[in-house]
Structure 1
Amino acid sequence: MALKADLRREFSQRRRQFTAEEIEVCSERIAARFLAEFAPKPGQTVHTFLPIQQQQEINTWHIVRQLWQRNVQVAVPVANPKDFSMAHFLITPDTQLQGSKWGIPEPVNALPIPESEIDTVLVPLLAFDLNGHRVGYGKGYYDRFLALLPQMSQKLGLSLDPPVEIIDDVSATDLTLDAVITPDLVWSFEQSDSQV
């Protein structure tokens, strides 16, 4: 049985084995894959997480800087721990960022943007399976957020690791990702577990 709590523990531990250099190399490869296969058009909006360094997350700044060069708008989340919701704000090269108490870079005085204007979301995760289900940090922020998106919005996970076969305790509120980008492959879930 592959349960979320066990996978969360296992993949958190796995991630801690990566060196800073390995994460940088993987992040650059993920960025190149995203821009090659999912390149957004100028004027579109891509929502991304910004990396929490102490969690050894994928460095999404490689993607953000490229999007700015291509005139694509970049939005980032600000979490509300009272109700586990997120607000979303546009950032530019001039946006001032400050660390939250969890070490998440958050924009100061940025322009808010509604979910209805977001074209693509880059979703953080610890693990994912062949059906496009993900294991996050367990608070449900992203499940709530993804449920508010327009149907046409792309939901793309970013992962350092390949998928597990199946997550056994998926709930009805867990949304399926459209694809997950790893350093080596893009896993697409539009037709069940097909691999691209």
Structure 2
Amino acid sequence: MALKANLRKEYSVRRRLFSAEQIDMASDRIADRFFAEYAPQPGQTVHTFLPIRQHQEINTWRLVERLWQLQVQVAVPVANPADLSMTHFLISPDTQFREAAWGIPEPVNALPIPESAIDLVLVPLLAFDLQGHRVGYGKGFYDRFLALLPKVSQKLGLSLEPPVDLIDDVHVNDLALDAVITPEQIWTFHPHDTDAPGGESR
């Protein structure tokens, strides 16, 4: 069985095998696919995680810089460990950052933004399956956040690796992603269409 805890452990180990150069190359390819398929309009707001470099995460700074060039607003999360919630802040090229808990870059003195103003979210993950369900780090921050978004907001996962067939212990309240972008392709899902296949590649 492909259980979240086992996948989290396995894919954390697999990720540590990527070199910094491989991460950067994969990040560029993911960014190219994102802008080819999902390029937002000027004035829209894209929410993204910022990379924890020691976790070998996708370098989303490459996406952020291109979003700024398109006059797209960029929001990032700040985690609140006490209640496992997140607040969200707009960032610009002038924003100052500090390294917070878990090595996450957090903005200093940035402007807060509500979930209702977010058009698209780039979601971190360790693994995902053909139904669009993800395995994160296990704290539940993103599960709570995604449930607060407007239904029209797009939820796009970013992954270094292709999907597993099925995550066996998906919770009834787990929200499926709309798509996941990998360096090789985009996997799209239809969480609201029970007759559609779980995932397709393009």
Question: Which bracket does the TM-score occupy, shorter chain normalised?
Answer: over 0.9
Alignment partner, residue 96 of structure 1: 96
Deviations along 1:142-188, one digit per CA (max 9) or x if unpaired, are 00000000000000000000000000000012110000000000000
Q: CA deviation at 1:195?
A: 2.2
Distance 1:115 1:101 in 2: 22
Distance 1:101 1:112 in 2: 19
- Aligned counterparts of 1:8 and 1:71: Cα–Cα separation in 2: 36
Offset of 1:194 from its aligned partner? 2.2
Give 5+ residue unaligned stretches, structure 1. none
Percent identical: 71
Distance 2:104 2:150 in 1: 26
Q: In structure 2, what is the equivalent of residue 60 of structure 1?
A: 60
Equivalences for residues 32-111 of structure 1 within 5 A:
32-111=32-111
Q: How does 1:16-31 map to 2 (within 5 A)?
A: 16-31=16-31
State the shift of 1:193 in Å.
1.7
Give the TM-score, by structure 1 length: 0.99
Structure 2, unmatched stretches of 5+, are 191-195
SS of the equivalent of 1:131 reads coil
Corresponding position of 1:176 = 176
Q: How does 1:141-152 map to 2 (within 5 A)?
A: 141-152=141-152
1:189 aligns with 2:189: yes
Q: Give distance in 2, aligned partners of 1:91 and 1:111.
A: 8
Rounded to whole Å, the distance in 1 between the matches of 2:143 and 2:159 is 17
Spell out structure 1 runs of 4+ moving beyond 3 A.
none
- Give me the whole-angstrom Cα distance separating, in 2, the residues matched to 1:97 and 1:34: 25
Length, aligned pairs only: 196
Q: Counterpart of 2:200 in structure 1: which amino acid?
A: S
Deviations 1:43-98 (A, max 9, x none): 00000000001101000001000000000000000000000000000000000000
Residue 101 of structure 1: how far off its partner (Å)? 2.5
3-state SS of the aligned residue for 1:97?
strand
- TM-score normalised by structure 2 residue count: 0.96
